[in-house]
Amino acid sequence: MRALLVVLLVGTASAQDQGFEVKVPDKLDAVVGEPATLPITIAVDRGLVISKDAPVILDVAASGGVSTRKPRLGRPDAVDPEADAPRFAVTLKISGPGEHVVKVRLRMWLCGGRSCRPLDVRRTTVVVANEPKAPAQSP
């Protein structure tokens, strides 16, 4: 019983202590016909970095009335490519009104000390696209 308790505690600690966070907004408001920017931020704990020797691959899959010029991005496409945890600003083209799902998949290597581990992170956001507001009529 004692061994089982130790295994459960270790398992719980490692699940909570991942050392990183990928932030993508749950919802993004946009206007049809105007570009929208989807921010993707990677935060790592002190002492950890995203490997600069391994690729950072960001795949963006949009549906319906949303598209992106470049569905696959890498570290050179980041806003700050030399940072220990690069961040991205993905430009989306909005062509139709309504709610559109955008799926993000980020693959990279998280390193600390002498070891690295692969990360495969998936996030989803909903783009709420509204028709442009009509200009106010003057009397």
Question: How confident is the model at residue 54, as a pLDDT?
Answer: 94
Query: In which band, very low, low, confident or very high, does the pLDDT at 138 lie, cut at 50, 70 and 90?
Result: low
Evaluate if residue 11 carries a pLDDT over 70: no
The pLDDT tens digits of the residues spanning 73-99 come to 999 999 999 998 899 999 999 999 999
The pLDDT tens digits of the residues spanning 101-134 come to 999 999 999 999 889 999 999 999 999 999 888 6
Q: Which residue ranges make up each domain of the chain?
A: 19-130
Residue 98 tokens read as 């309504």
Evaluate if residue 8 carries a pLDDT over 70: no
Fold topology of 19-130: Immunoglobulin-like (2.60.40)
Q: Distance between terminal CA atoms of the chain?
A: 82
